[in-house]
Copies of this chain bind each other. A is one copy, B any other.
Amino acid sequence: MPRDLPPLGSTVWVVGDGYIPPGGSGADPALHSHESICMLNAGDVDAVVEISVYYTDQEPAGPYTLAIPARRAHHQQINALRDPEPIQPGRDYCLVIRSSSPIVVQHTRLDSRQSELALMSTIAYPAA
């Protein structure tokens, strides 16, 4: 068990390259094209996370709200967000992720539009 730590991370994070590839190959759902924000709440307090989605040609959408319990990982597929509205594949966007307590965010895309998958990942930008 880890020793006590101060909360790790930042309360505001930005993802620049949001894009859910339209479609994907293969029968395994785990290999369908998707995009995820992988978050850690290493602190001892539950975190409330609000995600705003910025587009090229309209006002931002959201917030999409979720909770991450203390000492838990939460890997959120962007295409699984539903409330207030689904995020359409094939459309450019950026994300601002704000949390009530410090978290860490990594952004990953799996693209299987062609028969073999491609991956990309980066720690998101900590803005506060």
A binding-site residues for B, Cβ under 8 Å: 1-2, 5, 8-9, 12, 14-19, 26, 28, 30-31, 36, 38-40, 42, 50, 52, 54-57, 59-60, 62-63, 71-75, 90, 92-94, 96, 98, 104-128
Contact = CB atoms under 8 A, between A and B. Distances in A.
Nearest to A126: B125
Contact of A119 (B14, B62, B111): B111
Main SS of the interface on chain A?
strand
Contact of A114 (B9, B26, B55): B26
Given A113-B31, A118-B119, A104 B2 contact: no
Contact of A62 (B2, B109, B126): B2
A71 B42 CA distance: 30
